[in-house]
Amino acid sequence: MKIEGQYPKVPVQDKGSPKGKEKGDVQIEKNKPADIKKTSADQFAVKKMRSKMETEPDMDLEKVKALKEKIKKGEYQVDQKKLAANLLKDSLLEDI
């Protein structure tokens, strides 16, 4: 048995249409100004969120301070079931 050629066959492009131009591409070019406006609005929203994130602290300093005090006094109790559930949930989310 002899196998010749390329499988699956690569589609041959029409000689009449320029490379990379398909019927669907023309439709996209007509809608370009709307896409630009949407992109600008999206970029503005992203910049606004980034600036807000940069001004916020990475952690709740008051909560950290309260937890440190509880640990020093020996009052901090670990909820083992909650800890185990969160560890499992995080490991499952990492697999996704």
Buried b (16+ CB within 10 A) or exposed e, 72-91: eeeeeeeeeeeeeeeeeeee
How far is Cα 48 from Cα 68, in angstroms, rounded to an integer? 33
> Structure tokens of 62?
């008051």
| Residue range 53-96, pLDDT digits in tens | 888 878 888 999 999 999 999 999 999 999 999 999 999 988 87
Residue 36: what pLDDT? 62
- Place 44 in a pLDDT band, splitting at 50, 70 and 90: confident
pTM: 0.35
pLDDT digits (tens, 9 = 90+) for 12-41: 555 555 555 555 555 555 555 555 666 788
